[in-house]
Structure 1
Amino acid sequence: MSFDLSLPLNTLFAGLILWQLRSIIFPVTTITDLPPNEWNESEGGAYSWMPEKHPEVVLWKRYTPQTLRKYDGVDPEGKGRILLAIKGTVFDVTQGKSFYGPDGMYGNFAGRDASRGMAKQSFDSEMLTPIDQPLDKLTDLTSDEIDNMNGWIEHFAHKYIICGELVENGQD
């Protein structure tokens, strides 16, 4: 059996083999192969892999209704972060500031336990347990409302960072 370059398929295979050999013998230099002081210069000074500032680190911790309250996007102690809790899980929803910030349609849930409101699809303030009261046990919810709340938990878990758990006041 001989290798005949006059056949188009054989020519294609030979070309692919030569292309692979070329990339092995003469590897392409990427920007990361250059010393750090030459990275910006290699792209005319326009490229830098370094962010302007390091993003704020989010630590997992335990929150109570009282400690969660300062993360409403308004309180200066919360540094603009927006957190909310659903069924004991605390989510950092700062990315969704247009929804959960002070002027957003879910703004009343910021810095609070939103479990009942999410379960009942209600943004009314009576859906919120006062922060000095025990956590809402949600025992009167229907199975459809519980399913609805669990759907929100799943949605939030895929979209936002889980940054803690909500516990009773005094348990932090």
Structure 2
Amino acid sequence: MSIASPINLILLSLFAVVIYLQFRPKAPVSLPKGPAPVVYRTFVPTTLLEFNGEGERGVYLAVRGRVFDVTPGKNFYGPGGPYENFAGRDASRGLAFQSFDKEMLTEDLHGPLDDLKDLEPEQVENLQSWEERFLEKYLVVGKLVAEGDPEAPKS
């Protein structure tokens, strides 16, 4: 019996194919693109208003001076959602009163921010509960200051 028998040649060929498949160059692994980086910034009510979820914009809202990116909850906070009034606005008073009416929003966007000093203890507790929920769920992307505040962005 010869070493170069047909069966040995087939086995050797099969072995060579298996070795090639095991050690051949593989395509480089490509990672999926992550979201664009978010830069922490200072907002005034008029610049926050741009982030109301219309078109391809994100949805931001403020709670006690913190601006949250609630875009992952766009179906709640964006256009057509139950909390859409809060998109691009300071939602603090509405959350404290557990009311989603437009009357809870500050009318004068160029005036001072709502200091919330007239809230009852139960309303303060409501607001803290909402704020904790937002901190657990959403990214803080900035802070809200009044127009004319020394920290306000220059236009």
Cα deviation for residue 49 of structure 1 reads 4.9
Output the aligned Cα RMSD: 2.0
1:150 pairs with one of 108, 117, 128 = 128
Aligned length: 127
| Corresponding residue for residue 60 of structure 1 | 40
Query: 2:110·2:146 contact (CA, 8 Å) conserved in 1?
Result: no
Higher-Rg member (1/2): 2
Structure 1 portions without partners, runs of 5+: 1-33, 41-47
The AA in structure 2 aligned to 1:50 is L
Find the aligned partners of 1:149 and 1:38 in 2 and give their Cα distance: 54
Q: Note the 1:118-133 alignment, pairs <5 A.
A: 118-130=95-107, 131-133=109-111
CA displacement at 1:133 relative to structure 2: 2.2
For 1:49 and 1:109, locate their aligned partners in 2 and report how far apart those are by CA, in whole Å: 39
User: Is the 8 Å Cα contact of residues 38 and 141 (structure 2) preserved in structure 1?
Assistant: yes
The structure 1 segments of at least 4 consecutive aligned residues displaced by more than 6 Å after TM superposition are none
Query: Structure 1-normalised TM-score?
Result: 0.69
Structure 2 match to 1:159 = 137
SS at match of 2:26: helix
Higher-RCO chain (CA-CA 8 Å, sequence separation at least 6):
2
Instruction: Give the Cα separation in 1 of the matches to 2:72 and 2:43.
Output: 20
Equivalent-residue separation in structure 1 for 2:130 and 2:69 (angstroms): 14
